[in-house]
Amino acid sequence: MAETIFLKIIRGEIPAKVVHEDDLCMAFHDIAPKAPVHVLVIPKKPIESVNDIDEDDIPILGHIWATIPKIAQQLGIAQSGYRVVVNCGADGGQEVAHLHFHLLGGRKLTWPPG
């Protein structure tokens, strides 16, 4: 798998505004936020996209889903609500080839997405 900017963030080689880190995942503010709260939650394992998730990754994915509401609580958007978005591939709008969950909130989000 090609080196990505997110691997460099995990290794601390480039800075990020980290809001959560543990053995399996990391969360940091998006550099170009699309909402008042826009955090990226990523597995430390370099899974390229949703297409590359396999059965062995279920504990990691379960952990990420259990962690997202805690981060939402920490950032003050749990009660007002939020959206979790995972872009996959070119048509999905994925730019960074390291699986990531966009956690967006702090304003009323429109639907459907573009």
Binding test (CB under 6 A) with ligand 5GP, winner from 24, 50, 53, 96: 96
* Two tokens, residue 105: 């909130």
How many CB atoms within 10 Å of residue 9?
18
* Two tokens, residue 96: 């960074």
SS3 113: coil
- Candidate ranges 28-36, 42-50, 58-66, 69-77; the one touching ligand 5GP (CB under 6 A): 28-36
Residues contacting 48, CB < 8 A, separation 6+: 1, 97, 98, 99
Q: Is 5 in the site for ligand 5GP (CB under 6 A)?
A: yes
Name the nearest CA neighbour of 7 among 46, 64, 49, 48: 46
Q: Is 48 in the site for ligand 5GP (CB under 6 A)?
A: no
Q: Is 28 in the site for ligand 5GP (CB under 6 A)?
A: yes
**Catalytic annotation present for 63:** no
Name the minimum Å distance from CB 32 to ligand 5GP: 4
Residue count, binding to ligand 5GP (CB under 6 A): 12
Residue 56 is given by DSSP the state G
Of residues 67 and 98, the one with the C-beta less far from ligand 5GP:
98
Q: Is 94 in the site for ligand 5GP (CB under 6 A)?
A: yes
